[in-house]
Each structure stands twice: as structure tokens, then as C-alpha cells.
Amino acid sequence: MSQAPKYKRILLKLSGEALMGDGDYGIDPVTIGRIADEIKGLNRIGVEVGVVIGGGNIFRGAGLAEAGMDRVAADHMGMLATVMNSLALQDALEARDVYVRVMSAIRINEVCEDYLRRRAVRHLEKKRVTIFAAGTGNPFFTTDSAAALRAIEINAEIMLKATKVDGVYTADPMKDPSATRYEHISFTDALTQNLGVMDATALVMCRENNLPIKVFNIFNEGDLLKVVLGDNVGTLVSEETP
Ligand code: UDP
């Protein structure tokens, strides 16, 4: 396995749930520490890393709205949850001597920087891990859409979508043991077959801007590095066959 990274700049999308570990709410310090170690590994081999984190481990707008809240207020809470997760990851990275900046789509500049595209690109060029918080800053979107948007804006070569399965399968591998992993699928198949890669808004944005996505398992230690080195793990979603 050569140490030369295949990509110079990536956007890593972590769901809020990736931070929970075995718990069912909040942030598990051991889990976030392990993820920070893996991100540090990429930083140390010179990869420019942008990160978008979800908020599902704390609040999801749709869930709160179902329980009776106004959807816009609920989505504001969801976006603020992503800010908390971003601050936790920043802390874990700084504890490991990694330079990092959090930039929020909602102005909250006692806590972190405002998102400015030019400044974000500068941080990345200086090899600072740059965490994009508060989603797109708008209700009715998901952090998958925010990840697609930021990845395109910063000219990332690929979006790495961290999940709890090894990639995209022909069926749900938790339910159907005969399900097999796709090495590659097209955006159109991912959309029309409803394979659950990401929501349609995010997928269409990636397709229209030719941004490939790699779906991989963040719970397999070392797989994030393998993806960046170009090893055959996970599933590539792109228009062209590799
Ligand atoms: N959210 C939003 N606009 C955005 C991104 C996120 O309103 O651009 C809110 C929405 O309520 C969402 C919550 O933030 O449910 C957390 O994000 P998401 O559900 O995408 O987190 P994940 O599932 O990745 O943990």
C-alpha cells in the first residue's frame, strides 16, 4: 500500500450518529477521538480536508416537527446541533495538534468563524482541517445537501460519505444476508433505485456538478485512509465507470 494520496482535497461527510459510538444520543469521547485520529492521519499525508457534520445525534428537524414543533424552529435547532458537533470535533483535533477551523453558515461568531468561501479555501491551502457547521444555513435542507454544496464550492475532488455499512448494497445487508456490495454505481441508478446513498437533492447536486461520492464504513478503523489512498473499499458513485 503506497502512502501517496489519490486526492489532494476531499470533503468528509460525517453523520451526527457517527459520533455516538454505542450510545443513542450525544457524543462519545472515545469515538470522536478515534475519528479525529483518522482525520489527523489524512492531514499528516498532506490531504486538504473539509468536513461537514450532521446533527442527528442531538436534534433532527423532521423528528421535532413530527412531535409538534414548527418546522423552521426545529431545523434551526438541528443546525445548531451541527455546530455543537463541529466544536467537539475541533476540540478533539486540536488536542491532537491539528490546525482546525470551524466555519458556520449561521452567524455565531463568538463561537466560530462565519463561512466565507474564499477564507475556507485559504484555510484548506494552509492545511487546516476546515469544518463547515450549521448545514446550508437554511431550513428544509439536510447536511448531505450542505456537504454536496460545500464540496462543490471548495472544488473538492470527491465527497467521502461516512456510514455504518461498507458501501452501497443491492439490498439492506442488515436484513438480507445475500446482499452484495456495489464497487461502483451511477448517480442515476442511485437515484432511481432509491439505494439510500443520500437524499435526492444532494445526489442531483453531485450529479450536475460531476462530484463523485465514495460511500464507506467509518466504523472500520483505517478505511478512511484506504479510501484516500485509492484502495478498493466502499462504493463509488459517479457518472463515469472508473
Ligand atoms: N438542517 C437544516 N438545514 C441544513 C442542514 C441541516 O435545517 O442545511 C437541520 C435539519 O433539521 C436536520 C438537522 O439540521 O435534521 C441535522 O442534520 P442532518 O439530519 O442532516 O444530520 P445527520 O443525519 O447527518 O446526523
Residue count (the chain):
242
Q: Is 13 annotated as a binding residue?
A: yes
pLDDT score of 2? 56
- Residue 150 near residue 50, CB atoms below 8 Å: yes
Ligand 1: does its nearest atom lie under 6 Å from the Cβ of 16? yes
Give per-residue pLDDT as tens, 85-123. 999 999 999 999 999 999 999 999 999 999 999 999 999
pLDDT score of 150? 99
Grid coordinates 423532521 are at which residue?
Answer: 62
Write out the E strands in 99-228: 100-104, 113-114, 129-133, 158-163, 184-185, 213-217
pLDDT score of 148? 98
pLDDT score of 207? 97
Rounded distance between C-alpha atoms, residue 180 and residue 125, angstroms: 39
The residues facing 104 across adjacent strands are 114, 133
Tens digit of pLDDT per residue, the chain (242 long)? 457 999 999 999 999 999 999 999 999 999 999 999 999 999 999 999 999 999 999 999 999 999 999 999 999 999 999 999 999 999 999 999 999 999 999 999 999 999 999 999 999 999 999 999 999 999 999 999 999 999 999 999 999 999 988 999 988 888 899 999 999 999 999 999 888 899 999 999 999 999 999 999 999 999 999 999 999 999 999 987 77
- Residue 81 near residue 16, CB atoms below 8 Å: yes
Q: What number of other Cβ atoms are within 10 A of residue 182's Cβ?
A: 17
Rounded distance between C-alpha atoms, residue 173 and residue 170, angstroms: 8
Ligand 1: does its nearest atom lie under 6 Å from the Cβ of 60? yes
Ligand 1: does its nearest atom lie under 6 Å from the Cβ of 218? no
Q: Ligand 1 centre from 4 Cα, in Å?
A: 34
Q: Which atom belonging to ligand 1 lies closest to the Cα atom of 143?
A: 20
> What is the residue with the minimal CA distance to atom 14 of ligand 1?
78
What's the whole-model pTM score? 0.97
- Helices then strands, each counted (H, E), the chain: 8, 9
What are the structural domains of the chain? Answer: 9-237 (3.40.1160.10)
Q: Is 160 annotated as a binding residue?
A: no
